Amino acid sequence: MLSRSLYETSNQLKNKMWNKNGGFQLSGKTVGIIGVGNIGKEVVRLLKPFKCKILVNDIVEQSEYYTENNLIELPRNEIFEKSDIITLHTTLDKDTNNLVDLKLLNQMKNSSYIINTSRSGIIVENDLKYALKNNIIAGAAIDVYVSEPPSDYELLGLSNLICTPHIGGNAIEAVEAMGMSAIKHVKAFYKV
């Protein structure tokens, strides 16, 4: 949606504005993945048909997986400098809290995008708002917020931001799978 301008042009059309800006294709682009756990690995799988150059960074050593999947391991700051799209899939801890601040956003290309569906607090929201308003980056998509529900309507109203109400894991099937997993673990713990 970000790269093809689908969100922005859809909203414009609802306001009677005909904008045929089709954005750019994902194929062949450089995608940076910060956090290559289960979800990061699923992103790798989904990107394969698009033949993207995939840059990765994780605190866990996974060189065999990286080699098998033609991934390039780089320090975070280099991923931010080189990527067309960055997607965050890390936990929130002392090392990742406020990880993406204005300094790091300034290292990104002004044509690049950032996606955060992992944890709030990883991106400094005021810095993201500044970067989006001042064309430091082209756009963002976020599903998590420091305060939920969020109250920064200036940020939420930006046309180059796709924002969703923390629903990344709320598909009917995902909620059911989480419940079944909890039941399975409780049964195993109590040997029932």
Q: Output the pLDDT for position 140.
A: 97
Per-residue pLDDT of the chain (192 residues; tens, 9 = 90+): 888 888 888 888 999 999 998 888 899 999 999 999 999 999 999 999 999 999 999 999 999 999 999 999 999 999 999 999 999 999 999 999 999 999 999 999 999 999 999 998 999 999 999 999 999 999 999 999 999 999 999 999 998 999 988 888 777 888 888 888 899 999 999 988
CB of 30 closer than 8 Å to CB of 51: no
Say which residue the tokens 């690995």 belong to: 41
How far apart, in whole angstroms, are the C-alpha atoms of residue 40 and residue 36?
A: 4
Q: Output the pLDDT for position 8.
A: 86
Question: Considering the entire predicted model, what is its pTM?
Answer: 0.88
Q: Output the pLDDT for position 111.
A: 95
- Catalytic annotation on 119? yes
- Catalytic annotation on 166? yes
Q: Where are the domains of the chain?
A: 6-190
Catalytic residue among 148, 154, 176, 185: 148
CB of 27 closer than 8 Å to CB of 43: no
How far apart, in whole angstroms, are the C-alpha atoms of residue 19 and residue 3?
A: 15
Q: Output the pLDDT for position 177.
A: 84
Residue 105: CB atoms within 10 A of its CB come to 23
Helices and strands per DSSP (H, E), number in the chain: 8, 7
What are the structure tokens assigned to 131, written together? 């970067």
Beta strand pairing call for 113-116 and 53-57: unpaired
Class of CATH domain 6-190 = alpha beta
Catalytic residue among 4, 73, 81, 166: 166
Q: Output the pLDDT for position 32.
A: 98
Catalytic residue among 8, 76, 89, 119: 119
- Catalytic annotation on 4? no
